[in-house]
Amino acid sequence: MENSDVRLPMIPRECEQSYHMFYMMLPSIEHRDSLISQLKEQSILSVFHYTPLHLSEAGLKFAAGPSNCPVTEEVSRRLLRLPFYNDLSESAQDQVTGAVTNSRLRALSRHAS
C-alpha cells in the first residue's frame, strides 16, 4: 500500500507508547471500508476505532446540548484498528502487515482522484 494519505500512530519523543492498540487513519471512509473488506477476505479482523463521545448513547443522553464536532466525526470515520495483542504470533503479524502492504488502496486512490 503506497498511499501517503495513510497515517500511522506518531508518538512524541517526550511520551511513551502504551502499546494497547494499533490503528491506521485512512484517507476516507471508502478507503477504510475497502481495507476492512480486503482483510476480511483473508480472515483478518479489523474494526472501527471508536464512536465519538458526543454521538454515543451516554453522550447524547447527558450532554448539555447538541455538539458540533466535525473534525472528531471525520477522524472517527477514517480510523481502523488492526489486530494487536500479546499472543499475536510473528506469523500472524506477518500476515496482517503483508495484507495491509499488498492491499488495493492505491488503486482506490486513483479512482477517487
Consecutive 10-residue runs of the chain (113 residues): their mean pLDDT?
A: 71 87 90 94 89 91 89 93 91 94 69 49
> Beta strands of the chain (E only): which ranges?
22-25, 47-48, 79-82
Is residue 85 in some structural domain? yes
Would residue 5 count as lying in a domain? Answer: yes
Q: Is residue 95 part of a domain?
A: no
Name the residue type at position 4: S
Q: Which helix (H) or strand (E) holds 92?
A: helix 90-101
5: domain CATH number is 3.90.1150.10
Q: 23 forms bridges with which residues in the sheet?
A: 81
Round to whole Å and give the CA distance between 93 and 26.
20
**99 occurs within a structural domain:** no
Residue 37 lies in a domain: yes
Task: Supply 34's cell numbers.
Answer: 475497502
Query: pTM, whole model, 2 decimals?
Result: 0.79
| Domains held by the chain: number | 1
Among 58, 51, 48, smallest CA distance to 72 is for 51
| Distance, CA of 32 to CA of 42 (rounded, Å) | 16
Domain-located, residue 45? yes
Q: Domain residues for 66? A: 1-9+18-90
